[in-house]
Amino acid sequence: MEIKQEVVIRVKVNGSEVNATVSPEESLLEFLRDRVGSYDVKCGCKQGDCGTCTVVLAGQAVKSCLVLAAQADHKEIWTLKGLENDQLMQELQNSFAKHGAVQCGFCTPGMLVTAKSFLEDQPNPSRGQIKAALSGNLCRCTGYKKIVDAVSAVVVSRAGGCV
């Protein structure tokens, strides 16, 4: 069997096409930060445990450290920055700021991408479901309550209630 030294990939990152030659072991996280310059994707552990590197790959929130860049070939990737014009994302961002859900902010990009992806699948979750959805994203500052408050507030406001 031939062992490949490099892999040619074509991906779309935040709507722009990127062609690159990557090494087979290069993670999507490394590719996004080091090649594409997507510094909004944070690296907390590279072990799939902290969730801070979460991005949307082919419509699904994934921990980008657990996906190889080569696996993203011909797929679309959205990071926090790329979603800046998305209405749901904007509502979440404002709600995070307003509810005190951002302390050091290092987990925030991954938390927001996870929350947006979750709310798209499940627009009317319970508080418990929100907690379950965010449980793969670690935060050491907030104690999570204000993050869950922020997501809940968006759910309520989208359902036509007051925030």
Partner 1 sequence: METTVVGKRLPKFDAYSKAKGNIMYADDFSLPGMLYAKVLRSKYPAAKILAFNTERARSYPGVQAVLTSQDVPNNNLRAKFGQSTDVGANFEGLYRVLAEEKVRFMGEAIALVAADSEQIAEAALDLIDITYEPLPGVFDPVEALKEDAYCVGDNDSNLVSKFKIRKGDVDAAFEKADVIVENTYRVPCKDHSFIEPESGVAWIDENGVVTIRVSTQVIEHYRTVAEVLGVPHNHVRVIGTWVGGGFGGKEDISVESFLALLTWKTRRPVKLTYTREESFLAHSKRHPFIMKYKTGATKDGLLVALEAELIADAGAYTFLTPWVLLYATVNAAGPYNIPNVKVNTFAALTNNPFSSAYRGFGAVQPNFAYESQMDELARILNIDPLSIRLKNCLQQGDTLTTGADFGGYVAVSEVAEKAWQALGAKPAHKRKNIKIGRGLAIGMMSYGRLTFLHDTSRSYIKLELDGSVLIRCGIPDLGAGQAQALVQIAGEELGVPLEKIKIFIADTSLTPLAGTSTATRQLYMSGNATLKAAREVKARLISKAAALLNTEKTNLKLVEEKIVQISEPDKYLALSVVIGQCSADGDELYSEAQFNAPFTDVPISEVITGQTFADFTFGAYAVEVAVDEETGAVNLERVVACYDVGKAINPLNVEGQLEGGGVDSIGYALTEDFKVEQGYLKSHSFAEYLLPTALDVPDMETILVESGAGIGPYGAKGVGEPSCNAMAPAIINAIRDAVGVRITSLPATSEKVLWEILARN
Cα separation, 122 vs 11, whole angstroms = 27
Count residues binding partner 1 (CB under 8 A): 52
Q: Are 77 and 56 in contact (CB under 8 A)?
A: yes
Q: Is 136 in the site for partner 1 (CB under 8 A)?
A: yes
Pattern of binders to partner 1 over 18-57, x per CB under 8 A? ---------------------xx-xxxxxx-xx-x-----
* In the complex, least distance from residue 74 CB atom to partner 1, rounded to whole angstroms: 25
Q: Is 6 in the site for partner 1 (CB under 8 A)?
A: no
Residue 147 phi/psi, 5-degree rounding, is -70, -45
Q: Is 96 in the site for partner 1 (CB under 8 A)?
A: yes
Q: What angle do CA 73, 84, 8 make, to 5 degrees?
A: 15
Exposure letters 7-19 (e unless 16+ CB within 10 A, then b):
bebebebbeeebe
Which residues of the shown chain bind partner 1 in the complex (CB under 8 A)? 39-40, 42-47, 49-50, 52, 79-81, 84, 92-94, 96-109, 112, 127, 130-132, 134-148
